[in-house]
Amino acid sequence: MPVEVILPKVDMDMTVGTIAAWHAADGDRVEKDAPLFDIETDKAAMEVESPASGFLHHICAEIGAEVTIGTPVAWIYAEGETVGEAPLVFVKRPVFEEVPRDRDEPAAQREDAPTLTDKTRATPAARRLAASEGLDIAEVAGCGPRGRVQAADVERMLKGPEPDRSWQSARGPLNVLYSGGGDGLPIVMIHGFGADGGGWKALEEALPPGHPLFKIELSAHGRSPLSRIDGFRDLAAAVREAFDALQLDCVHLIGHSLGGALALALSATRARKIDGLTLIAPAGLGPEINGDALFGLARATKVESLRPWMQQLVADPGVITERFAKAAMQSRRDANLRAAQHHMAEALFPDGVQAFDMTVALKELDCPARIVWGRRDRMIPWRHALQAPGTVALHLLEDVGHLPHLERPELLAGLMRDLR
Amino acid sequence: MPDTAAENIPFAVRTYSAEALSEAFRKMLLIRKFEEGAEACYTRGQIHGTMHLSIGQEASAVGACMGLSDADKITSTHRGHGHCIAKGADVARMFAEFFGKETGYCKGRGGSMHIADVAKGNLGANGIVGGGLPIAVGAALAAKRLCTGAVTMCFFGDGANNEGAFHEALNMASVWALPVVFVCENNRYGMSNAVEKSTAVASIADRAPAYSMPGTSVDGNDFSAVAEAVEAAVSSARAGEGPSLVELVTYRWRGHSKSDRNRYRSKEEIAEWMAKDPLAGMSAMLLEHGILSEGDMAEISASVEREIEDAIEYARHSAGPEQAEITRYVYTDLAS
Amino acid sequence: MNVQADAVRTLSYAEALREAMDIALGADQRVVLIGEDIGIYGGAFQVTGDLVEKYGEDRVMDMPISELGGAGVAVGAAMTGLRPIFEFQFSDFATLAMEQIVNQAAKVRYMLGGAVSVPLVMRFPAGSGTGAAAQHSQSLEAWFGHVPGLKVVQPATPEDAKGLLLAALEDPDPVMIFEHKLLYKTRGPVPEGAYLTPIGKASLRREGRDLTIVATAIMVQKALEAAEVLAGEGVDAEVIDLRTIRPIDRETVLESVRKTGRLLCVYEAVKTLGIGAEISAMVAESDAFDFLDAPIVRLGGAECPIPYNPDLERAAVPQVADIIAGATDLAQGRT
């Protein structure tokens, strides 16, 4: 008698499981207790071991099939045992296999058939809320059944993501990208809010060769973990840990915007290791910041809503091409990442105000430092630069916005040509 | 042995005053003229809904109600104009109801089939054959329980005697010995179905023994005979002796309703019954016994004609109900 | 009936009804009880109990097995001065009396242009769960709810059973009381003396944020039981006991739906063309529609007569587990 292989109940309230993988094929020899197939329930994935040694036959639940617990999915025959007819078993096939293929339908019928995507599927409550907030319901991503937009989806879009519900805070060191190389002074770069290590590309290309480049990616940015940041100290501590882990003795530090403030914070605690500092439109030198743009960037779920805010970052909106915006949105497509960033923005810039002050750190710097700022910066007023003591060099650039390293990388690199 | 002289004098003449008999004659004539007037108005398109005419049955309606006061109740049928007038209704308000006016007895909500005059004790005509039978028993129960001394008279037709409600109602009235008189106006047809074809007993009065109550059958076109039979039943009910069944054999000259093509009966049969006109019989009796002269009758007839004309005028000139009040009277207005 | 409701004791639903009838019989000579086996037998469900001993056979009247005739007697008596309380032995038997209820009781006042009222109370032991099968287990209240001129109530608690019966007696129009048979033995606090539970007013039995459960009769108890379990699972259900299905309390339902945005209707009668359809339509036709954040869900009886087999019988009407499952799906946006 062949041994029945059933789909086991592996979870208390489990009634069905889905076959995720088979580790053996029909006719294969299998060993007792060796992994035979994988199942997935709505809670977990699990490996199921073979109940006997022998030859596997009559696999009747293919990958993707949803099987009620206790249902046979295959049989194992002993060596030499005659393989009979496959017993009758009913296994629910995955739904997608039952959907008739498009090409089987007559073309005319296909054209006439109304496409559900013509209309946004949304609840009355969601429509009412969207209308009252002047929001186009079609712009809201629905998380309900069949993509239905529910009131919560609209609220999420209006408020920005709700961090605690939509993402789990993760732990772990910050991600650091490495490039360049050579005997030159290592350069550590800290990007601004909403950017990532890739944002330094234009400057990298303009910088003189021979410098190892370490690009720290902030929490919930780039490939760093989605850690929960409840204040500037949390973030500064994370950067400090990442810096320490690099075990560099002497570096030049470049920080942009929020990264500038973090560079100042790092200078205050790791002064002996910092040879020099380039602060690009640094945050932390005054309370004002363009909160609308900041939160607009954090909230945006579509290229169309991201691009106008990105254009606020630069003096010449033409720099932000659609392609550029798409690429930026691509890196922000993870809703959890957006949620975590939103949470961070609320902690660092509550009500659109810079809630941390780095002017003391700036005044106590004891290494050569320069501030580079675009005079047409619409994010942080360039006049904050005037907080700097006389020992800090100021470069106030005409016709440049908040991203000098993107808008004028050569000019910026030129300012830094004295790097050892 | 009753004396011969008394035997030759009809019950009605012996029993009622000249005024009462004159009034009975007037009511019978009023019913006839009212229905002729209603038929004419319907034919001219002035009345919206159908109606069931009782022309030819006037003696039964008026004769049956002779022993009733306003405190006594009646339940009526779809062929109920005669009962309503016999019980004392104002024909002007009846016409107003037929015209669907707010001044009608039912404020234009009921029409011919639900004509009622609750103040005079008429609990209403009924569109459901047999519908009034249990209701009459209920009214009799209330009268008994509240010791009002009132009697309820339940008019129904030959068709209703085959309804379950008839049998249930008679049984309960008898079991509880209630003051109710069941008056069957057997006009020979339930719409088109002849009573011989629909009813297992030869006389509807034969149903009475099954419910242990007296049952009599009389000529329903003979005013005096009707009054005599029904008075006896009313007295018995009033005396607490329980219900009775009285069958009044009569005939409707007109069809069942205005849509009847009269295919189920012959012209000869209709002519035969028209020859037994209850009004003619009543006139002859009153003349014979010197209650009314031909001149009196002509005078009454003229006054009835005027009353009908005035009533129709009143109905025509009355206002109809407001559309906004369509749901009024569904429930009792607790605010008023 | 001016006795103040002061003290509260625990009574069964049947006892509460009996107490209401006792109060009414004692206070008003016009009140009579009419029904089958309501005298010496005490009623098929022992609701009238020993009232016949206290008030005699003239006030607590056993009638022949004549539902049509008996109902008509009650209508006629109500039209002419009595205050009858008519008991159907089973609500199913009302099918024999539909003529008198629907054509007469409901319409007389209107047909006569307001000349009479029909202050009639009819009691209908209704619902399944007793193993009495198809002809003794129906929930026909929606039939009556469809008839203008009638009022239809479904008390869910002993307190409301008494208060609604007394309110029905005070009402000048015919009031149909549907009493779920499985509720007769349920116990609850009942104030002493006479008090009125308003007809046409729903009761908010449990406040909640996540969804509104509108339930009738025994489904109210089941919904409350479900709500407790749901609370443990993080679903905060509001439970409305409709109490009256005609006239329906629109505002209580709409207000709740405006708050929760999700509606679950639970009733024992056959689901199709029932009370749930009415509640759903009421919401869909109102401004509360704008607040709906999920499709409306109805849980009602199966599309079959009530079966005899106990498992089938249970499966034929919504149970607590069904309500929990329905409410969870609804609250979590899976519908």
Question: For testing the chain A interface, which of C209, C256, C290 should be mutated: the one with the most A CBs within 10 Å?
Answer: C290
Least confident of A79-83, B100-104, C151-155: A79-83
Of residues C212, C193, C197, C335, the one with CA closest to residue C266: C212
Q: C255 pLDDT exceeds 80? A: yes
Tell me which chain C residues have a C-beta less than 8 angstroms from the C-beta of B119: 115
**How many distinct structural domains can be found in chain B?**
1
Angle at the Cα of C224 (from C223 to C229), degrees rounded to 5? 95
What pTM value is reported for the model? 0.67
Two structure tokens written together for C213: 């459960």
Q: A166 pLDDT exceeds 60? A: no
β-strands C263-270, C211-215: how paired? parallel
Query: Does C71 contact B110 at a Cβ distance shorter than 8 Å?
Result: no
Q: Is C291 touching A (CB cutoff 8 A)?
A: yes
For residue range A260-276, list pLDDT tens digits in order: 999 999 988 888 899 99
Query: Does C76 contact B135 at a Cβ distance shorter than 8 Å?
Result: yes
Q: What residue type is C133 in one-letter code? A: A
Q: Is C239 touching A (CB cutoff 8 A)?
A: no
Query: Does C114 contact B128 at a Cβ distance shorter than 8 Å?
Result: no
For residue range A207-222, list pLDDT tens digits in order: 888 899 999 999 999 8
Two structure tokens written together for C58: 């003239």
Considering CB atoms only, which of A128, A145, A150 is closest to C290? A128
For residue range A327-357, list pLDDT tens digits in order: 787 777 777 888 888 888 888 998 888 989 9
Count of A-C CB contacts under 8 Å: 32
Tell me which chain B residues have a C-beta less than 8 angstroms from the C-beta of C173: 331-332
Least confident of A321-325, B122-126, B250-254, C14-18: A321-325
Distance CA A110, CA A118 (A): 14
Two structure tokens written together for A337: 């990442």
Distance CA B311, CA B157 (A): 28
Residue C136 is a catalytic residue: yes
In chain C, where are the structural domains located? 8-191, 203-331
> Among residues C19, C36, C136, C159, which one is catalytic?
C136
More confident of the two residues C277 and A230? C277
Under-70 pLDDT residues of chain B:
1-7, 335-336
- Helical (H) or strand (E) element with C278: helix C275-284
Question: For testing the chain B interface, which of C33, C59, C73 should be mutated: the one with the most B CBs within 10 Å?
Answer: C73
Tell me which chain C residues have a C-beta less than 8 angstroms from the C-beta of B114: 111-112
Of residues B251, B305, B308, the one with CA closest to residue B277: B251
Query: Does C110 contact B75 at a Cβ distance shorter than 8 Å?
Result: no
Domain that holds residue B286: 15-316
For residue range C85-105, list pLDDT tens digits in order: 999 999 999 999 999 999 999
Given a contact cutoff of 8 angstroms between Cβ atoms, the answer to whether C120 and C105 are in contact is yes
Give the residue on C whose Cα is nearest the Cα of B132.
C72
Mean pLDDT, chain A, integer:
83
Query: Does C293 contact A128 at a Cβ distance shorter than 8 Å?
Result: no
Please tell me whether residue C123 adopts helix, strand or coil conformation. Answer: strand
Tell me which chain A residues have a C-beta less than 8 angstroms from the C-beta of C280: none
Does B1 fall in a domain?
A: no
Q: Is B128 touching C (CB cutoff 8 A)?
A: yes
Angle at the Cα of A234 (from A229 to A239), degrees rounded to 5? 110
Q: Is C81 touching A (CB cutoff 8 A)?
A: no
Quote the pLDDT of residue A104.
43
Query: Does C290 contact A145 at a Cβ distance shorter than 8 Å?
Result: no
* Residue A32, C-beta contacts closer than 8 angstroms, at least 6 positions apart: A49, A50, A51, A52, A53
Q: B9 vs chain C: nearest CA distance in angstroms?
A: 39
Query: Does B131 contact C100 at a Cβ distance shorter than 8 Å?
Result: yes
Quote the pLDDT of residue A103.
42
Tell me which chain B residues have a C-beta less than 8 angstroms from the C-beta of C32: 141, 145
What's the whole-number mean pLDDT along residues A47-62?
88
Q: B310 vs chain C: nearest CA distance in angstroms?
A: 23
Tell me which chain C residues have a C-beta less than 8 angstroms from the C-beta of B172: 63-64, 66, 69-70, 73
Q: What residue type is A56 in one-letter code? A: L
Question: For testing the chain C interface, which of A42, A121, A123 should be mutated: the one with the most C CBs within 10 Å?
Answer: A123
Quote the pLDDT of residue A117.
45
Q: C189 vs chain B: nearest CA distance in angstroms?
A: 30
Tell me which chain B residues have a C-beta less than 8 angstroms from the C-beta of C76: 75, 123, 134-142, 152
C8-191 matches C203-331 in fold? yes
Quote the pLDDT of residue A293.
86
Q: Chains C, B in contact: 3+ Cβ pairs under 8 A?
A: yes
For residue range B203-224, list pLDDT tens digits in order: 999 999 999 999 999 999 999 9
Give the residue on C whose Cα is nearest the Cα of A132.
C290
Two structure tokens written together for C264: 């679950």
Q: Is C285 touching A (CB cutoff 8 A)?
A: no
What's the whole-number mean pLDDT along residues A167-174?
78
We report the CATH number of the domain holding residue B95 as 3.40.50.970
Give the residue on C whose Cα is nearest the Cα of B107.
C113
Q: Is B179 touching C (CB cutoff 8 A)?
A: no
For residue range A61-78, list pLDDT tens digits in order: 888 888 887 788 888 998
Query: Does B139 contact C72 at a Cβ distance shorter than 8 Å?
Result: no
Please tell me whether residue C128 adopts helix, strand or coil conformation. Answer: coil
Residue C67 is a catalytic residue: yes
Quote the pLDDT of residue A317.
87
Q: Does ipTM top 0.85?
A: yes
For residue range A97-111, list pLDDT tens digits in order: 334 444 444 444 434
Q: C292 vs chain A: nearest CA distance in angstroms?
A: 5
Two structure tokens written together for A250: 């002497």
Distance CA C23, CA C162 (A): 10
* Residue A158, C-beta contacts closer than 8 angstroms, at least 6 positions apart: A129, A133, A135
Q: Is C108 touching B (CB cutoff 8 A)?
A: yes
Q: If one looks up domain C203-331 in CATH, what number appears?
A: 3.40.50.920
Q: C30 vs chain B: nearest CA distance in angstroms?
A: 7
Given a contact cutoff of 8 angstroms between Cβ atoms, the answer to whether A203 and A211 are in contact is no
Does B76 fall in a domain?
A: yes
Chosen CATH of C8-191 out of 3.10.20.30, 3.40.50.970, 1.10.730.10, 3.40.1280.10: 3.40.50.970
For residue range A383-403, list pLDDT tens digits in order: 999 989 999 999 999 999 999
Quote the pLDDT of residue A108.
40
Percentage of residues in chain A having pLDDT higher than 90: 30
Query: Does C73 contact B172 at a Cβ distance shorter than 8 Å?
Result: yes
Does B336 fall in a domain?
A: no
Place of tokens 């889905």: A18
Q: C212 vs chain A: nearest CA distance in angstroms?
A: 15
HEC-encoded secondary structure of chain B:
CCCHHHHHCCHHHHHCCHHHHHHHHHHHHHHHHHHHHHHHHHHCCCCCCCCCCCCCCHHHHHHHHHHCCCCCEEECCCCCHHHHHHCCCCHHHHHHHHCCCCCCCCCCCCCHHHCCEHHHCECCCCCCCCCHHHHHHHHHHHHHHCCCCCCEEEEEECHHHHCHHHHHHHHHHHHCCCCEEEEEEECCEECCEEHHHHCCCCCHHHHHHHHCCCEEEEECCCHHHHHHHHHHHHHHHHCCCCCEEEEEECCCCCCCCCCCCCCCCCHHHHHHHHCCCHHHHHHHHHHHCCCCCHHHHHHHHHHHHHHHHHHHHHHHHCCCCCHHHCCCCCCCCCCC
Quote the pLDDT of residue A165.
47
Distance CA B244, CA A333 (A): 92
Quote the pLDDT of residue B3.
53
Query: Does B137 contact C81 at a Cβ distance shorter than 8 Å?
Result: no
Chains that touch C (3 or more CB pairs under 8 A): A, B
Quote the pLDDT of residue C266.
98
Quote the pLDDT of residue A303.
79
Quote the pLDDT of residue B284.
97
Q: A305 pLDDT exceeds 90? A: no
Q: Is C335 touching A (CB cutoff 8 A)?
A: yes
What's the whole-number mean pLDDT along residues A169-182?
85
Q: Is B80 touching C (CB cutoff 8 A)?
A: no
> Among residues C15, C36, C67, C179, which one is catalytic?
C67
